[in-house]
Amino acid sequence: MAERDLPESEKVMHIAGQALAELDPLTLSRWQFGLTTVYHFLFVPLTIGMVLLVAIMQTIWTRTNDEKWLKMTKLFGKIFLINFAMGVVTGIVQEFQFGMNWSNYSRFVGDVFGAPLAMEGLLAFFFESTFIGLWIFGWGRLSKKVHLLTIWVTTLGVWLSAYFILAANAFMQHPVGFTINAAKNRAELTDIGAVLTNIVALNQFPHTVTASIMFAGGVMVAVGAYHLKRNQYVESMYRSLRFGLWAALLGGIGTIISGDGLGLAMVQTQPMKMAAAEALYNTATGKDASFSIFTWGTPDGHSELFSIRIPYLLSFLSTHSLNGTVEGLNNLQAQYTHLYGPGNYMPIIWLTYWAFRWMIGLGLVAMLVAVVGLVVTRKGRTQLPKWVWNTAIWATPLALLAISVGWTFTEMGRQPWIVFSLMKTADGVSPGVTGLDVLISIVVFTLIYGVLAVVEFGILRKAVAAGPDVLVAQDEHADADHLAVAY
């Protein structure tokens, strides 16, 4: 039957059917992975950083019996938990979607990649989920020392979990400890030690945890500033502010040092990514290997009109030598075409170029805020103009944004590979999953995640505004009959 003979409604169905058939599962799966991962990682840094800071605060309280440290432990513990819940539920999606959306990838690397994931589960997730329950509901039920131990074991679980997942990610950046089984068409593990001590993981882990501590410190600063601006809970909130400022500064310094190490590892393992970070098209040596702070020109930096450049800096970042040579995109493209066959081996240059700059820039501004904060609030100074406190509050997202664009850089800079040199992203997608399937899941996740973000932010605000004293007062009402802590 010719199309014009169809009734109107069937024509619409027909067109809709064609549009659905054209939905590309690959593009949609990439968007879904990007969206859900960036979203998941909005909660993870605060978990990684804050669990340690809460453990330290509770340790100080256990040692000194000083009530302000108990108040701080309770308030930041509460903030930690509100955030932790979101990290947990969005984390399940992460583990499932390797198989759901990237089944060819899973088939190809499961023998290697599955091991650190399973270790994460057996060694870290069980620790985290069991001991966090003991910590939350153990107030008043466990002895002080055992209860303190539970938050430290939770910290251990959270940090181990970070290490294993970064080791798994490191395999995608720089595959090691494997052999290709041609008959089974898959990568097979030959050396678990090599996978777990991957140079990328060894450098990525300190970079991730120190940046997380910087952000968690920033959150403490914001909460302190919120109350000091209102001149309330001054004693405990001034201590929180200073503690947070130091955590942000020390975390920031750690992030710079570890970032330097990670940069060197990146040049060794993924030179294309470093070239893409600078949009360096042609190999450069020494003075010419400069770092541009800003470029005005075509979006990919290919033909620049104006830029501010620091000579030697890219050479130093890449090789720790002023006369080092940094390979350019064009040279690497030629090498890779020779090695891996025809194709485009460059990531999206404007994206990597700007993400790299925003990561560094936002991180540095966050550190600057911490340094200035330490100076202006020294020696117990809490009578400051409102705009100072507001700056401290509004500076909170800087470190988190830096972390997000940093990961965007790392993952987009690996493209077109899903596992560098072994498998392209386009080959990793699930062959049996339709574009409609992924469209449905992407819409569902976006809706739920959007609503939850609003709810979570509202709850966090409320918890911050309620302040620390009410949490400790609740304890005093607890008696033999009532549970000290309950849902």
Please list every residue from 161 through 200 that binds another protein, using CB under 8 A. Answer: 181, 186, 188-190, 192
Q: Which of residues 452-481 bind another protein (CB under 8 A)?
A: 452, 455-456, 459, 462-463, 474, 477-478, 481
Residue with token string 């064009």: 330
Of 98, 87, 113, 34, nearest in space to 407 by CA? 34
Do residues 278 and 294 lie in contact, with contact meaning Cβ atoms separated by under 8 Å?
A: no
Report the alpha-carbon distance of residue 247 to residue 213 in Å, rounded.
6
Stretch that binds another protein, among 252-260, 281-289, 409-417, 447-455 (CB under 8 A): 447-455
For residue 437, state whether it binds another protein (rule: CB under 8 A): yes
Question: Of 113, 159, 316, 345, which lies in the binding site for another protein, with binding defined by CB under 8 A?
Answer: 113
What would you report as the CA-atom Rg of the chain, rounded to the nearest whole angstrom?
25
Amino acid at 164: F
**Cα distances (angstroms) measured from residue 80 to each of 87, 162, 220, 232:** 10, 17, 11, 22
Contact 380, 437 (CB under 8 A): no
The nearest distance, CB 349 to another protein, in angstroms, is 32
Q: Which stretch binds another protein (CB under 8 A): 49-57, 138-146, 258-266, 419-427?
A: 138-146
The CA-based angle 434-438-440, given to 5 degrees, is 115
Q: Which two tokens stand for residue 484?
A: 């000290």
Identify which range of 15-23, 134-142, 309-317, 406-414 contacts another protein by CB under 8 A.
134-142
Distance CA 486, CA 174 (A): 46
- Interface with another protein, residue 430, by CB under 8 A: yes
Q: Which amino acid is it at 300?
A: D
Minimum CB distance to another protein, residue 25 (Å): 10
Contact between 300 and another protein by CB under 8 A: the answer reads no
Residue 306 DSSP code = E
- Write down the least CB distance from residue 248 to another protein, Å: 27
75 interacts with another protein by CB under 8 A? no
Pick the binder of another protein from 203, 403, 441, 467 (CB under 8 A): 441
364 vs 370: CA distance, rounded Å? 10
Q: Is 308 in the site for another protein (CB under 8 A)?
A: no
Tell me whether residue 26 or residue 478 sits nearer to another protein (CB atom): 478
439 binds another protein per the rule CB under 8 A? no
Among 93, 202, 370, 402, indicate the residue that binds another protein (CB under 8 A).
Answer: 93
Residue closer to another protein (CB basis): 121 or 343? 121
What secondary structure does DSSP assign to 311-341, as a single string? Answer: TTHHHHHHHSSTT-EE--HHHHHHHHHHHH-
Stretch that binds another protein, among 47-55, 57-65, 85-93, 386-394 (CB under 8 A): 85-93
Q: What tokens does 437 get? A: 């399937």
Q: Is 78 in the site for another protein (CB under 8 A)?
A: yes
Taking the C-alpha atoms of residue 202 and residue 206, their distance in angstroms, rounded to an integer, is: 7
Residue 185's alpha-carbon distances to 61, 105, 111, 117, 174, in angstroms, are 56, 11, 11, 21, 19
Burial environment of residue 24 by CB neighbours within 10 A (0 to 12, 13 to 18, 19 or more): exposed
Residues 14-33 that bind another protein (CB under 8 A): none
Q: Near another protein by CB under 8 A, which window of 99-107, 212-220, 325-333, 388-396?
A: 99-107
88 lines the binding site for another protein (CB under 8 A): yes
Nearest approach, Cβ of 64 to another protein (angstroms)? 24
Query: With CB under 8 A as the contact rule, which of the stretches 130-138, 312-320, 355-363, 405-413 interacts with another protein?
Result: 130-138
Q: Is 460 exposed, middle or buried (0-12, 13-18, 19+ CB in 10 A)?
A: middle
**With binding defined as CB under 8 A, does residue 90 bind another protein?**
yes
Using CB under 8 A, which residues numbered 358 to 397 contact another protein?
none
For another protein, the binding residue among 59, 62, 104, 335 (CB under 8 A) is 104
- Report in angstroms how near the CB of residue 462 gets to another protein at its nearest: 7
Q: Two tokens at 306?
A: 């104006």
# of chain residues touching another protein (CB under 8 A): 80
Strands 423-424 and 178-181: unpaired
What is the identity of the amino acid at 8? E
Query: Is the Cβ of residue 109 or residue 405 nearer to another protein in the bound state?
Result: 109
CB of residue 34 vs another protein: minimum separation in angstroms? 17
